[in-house]
């Protein structure tokens, strides 16, 4: 049965041929745009230093920013990581395949090009069926940052990957729009209790139920009222509370700016001239559509996008984190 991304559980011949093409490109040291359940990745052979260097060049990313190694099976974890505490195995068992990345002491297969020379390595087993099939057929580890140019919005469709990277990527597999829409949750298991380095697709509450302890957090702060900044040349993101939208929108309109609004519910009572984007919905659909809405705001050539954050529970924490980063100008979580 096709699922809602149009991907069949039993790959048909065309899918099988695509999987084989992707594996051939990876073996040859090339780069593949791969769908994951979070965002699209720019994938290369994690054991091939030249392939990994090509990833950094294609993204325009500084080489000391480490990459995540994607595996087809949690059983490979011990080849890539070392000195894993029991909680790491519990988290892997509960959430893989899925939107969780573990940062652990590096194992024998992790090379400096991937880890940026750190003593640790980031690892995850993604759940998108097409990419899982590629990883399993490839057999090794695949380094894959989000498939955007450095500092820009992560792509959540195959078209967005092509728009971001053009010819610098050898092949893009189209697995439909990403289910989760924001990047994986990164958990550092080298410290006790483990620490959440980046909120993401797996909510902190779910991790804590499995870990049995309260995790340290990288410090999510409350949406700070209005805090304008650039993340890309064309768009400023400003966080506002629901009851401030109208007044803030008026100020920007009076300054002669093109103003858009992104809010969980349809924004009512907006001044004429404001462009409402489709309602962002509950936290889950807010996450799913977030990066495409940013791209839409760019296409519409809006000067400023006023965003009303969802509540912080569950995946809402990750959405608020990305909104805050966008407002500060450091999308998409690549520091
Ligand atoms: O959902 C995701 O995680 C997506 C998909 C493609 O899997 N990937 C992704 O990769 O978001 P990237 O490169 O855009 O972000 C990886 C993050 C960076 O913030 C990086 O600094 C961090 O992971 N990271 C990688 N290795 C690390 C390490 N050894 N210690 C701490 N942070 C690490
Ligand atoms: Mg990224």
pLDDT tens-digit series, residues 243-293 = 999 999 999 999 999 999 999 988 778 999 999 999 999 999 999 999 999
Ligand 2 centroid distance, CA of 182 (Å): 10
Contact indicator for 168, 58 with CB cutoff of 8 Å: yes
Mutate to test the pocket of ligand 1, among 46, 72, 99, 101 (most ligand atoms within 8 A of CB): 101
For residue 178, what are its two tokens? 């990403």
Mutate to test the pocket of ligand 1, among 146, 161, 291 (most ligand atoms within 8 A of CB): 146
Does ligand 1 have an atom closer than 6 angstroms to the CB of 143? no
**Statement: residue 6 has pLDDT above 60:** no
Does ligand 1 have an atom closer than 6 angstroms to the CB of 42? no
Ligand 1 centroid distance, CA of 146 (Å): 8
Nearest CA residue ID for atom 18, ligand 1: 334
pLDDT, mean of residues 162-190: 97
Q: Helix or strand or coil: residue 5?
A: coil
What is the rounded radius of gyration, in angstroms, for the C-alpha atoms of the chain? 20
Residue 178 CA, chain-centre distance (Å), reads: 10
Nearest Cα residue to 120 out of 128, 130, 110, 129: 110
The mean of the pLDDT values for the chain is 91
Does ligand 1 have an atom closer than 6 angstroms to the CB of 156? no
For residue 103, what are its two tokens? 């940062």
d(Cα 215, Cα 242) in Å, to the nearest integer? 30
pTM for the complete prediction?
Answer: 0.93
**Integer angstrom CA distances of residue 217 from 199, 246, 258, 266, 317:** 9, 33, 36, 32, 11
Does ligand 1 have an atom closer than 6 angstroms to the CB of 127? no
Residue 168 backbone phi and psi in degrees, to 5: -75, -10
d(Cα 130, Cα 173) in Å, to the nearest integer? 8
């Amino acid at each position: 049965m096709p699922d809602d991304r149009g991907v069949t559980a039993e790959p048909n011949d065309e899918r099988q041929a695509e999987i084989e093409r992707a594996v051939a490109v990876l073996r040859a040291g090339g780069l593949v745009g791969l769908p994951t359940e979070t965002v699209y990745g720019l994938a290369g052979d994690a054991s091939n230093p030249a392939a990994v260097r090509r990833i950094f060049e294609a993204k325009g990313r500084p080489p000391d920013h480490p990459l995540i190694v994607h595996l087809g099976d949690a059983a490979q974890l011990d080849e890539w990581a070392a000195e894993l505490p029991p909680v790491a195995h519990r988290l892997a068992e509960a959430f893989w395949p899925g939107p969780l990345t573990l940062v652990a002491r590096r194992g024998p297969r992790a090379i400096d090009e991937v880890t940026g020379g750190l003593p640790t390595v980031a690892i995850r087993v993604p759940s998108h069926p097409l990419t899982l099939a590629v990883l399993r057929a490839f057999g090794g580890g695949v380094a894959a940052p989000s498939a955007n140019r450095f500092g820009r919005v992560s792509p959540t469709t195959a078209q967005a990957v092509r728009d971001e990277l053009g010819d610098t990527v050898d092949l893009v597999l189209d697995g439909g729009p990403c289910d989760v829409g924001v990047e994986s949750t990164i958990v550092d298991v080298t410290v006790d209790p483990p620490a959440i380095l980046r909120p993401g697709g797996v909510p902190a509450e779910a991790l804590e139920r499995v870990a049995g302890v309260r995790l340290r957090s990288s410090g999510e702060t409350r949406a700070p009222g209005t805090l304008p900044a650039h993340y890309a040349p064309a768009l400023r993101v400003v966080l506002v509370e629901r009851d401030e939208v109208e007044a803030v929108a008026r100020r920007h309109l009076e300054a002669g700016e093109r103003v858009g609004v992104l809010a969980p519910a349809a924004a009512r009572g907006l001044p004429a001239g404001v462009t409402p984007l489709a309602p962002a919905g509950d936290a889950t659909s807010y996450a799913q559509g977030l990066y495409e809405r940013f791209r839409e705001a760019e296409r519409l050539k809006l000067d400023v996008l006023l965003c009303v954050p969802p509540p912080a529970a569950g995946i809402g924490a990750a959405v608020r984190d990305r909104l805050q980063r966008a407002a500060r100008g450091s999308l998409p979580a690549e520091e």
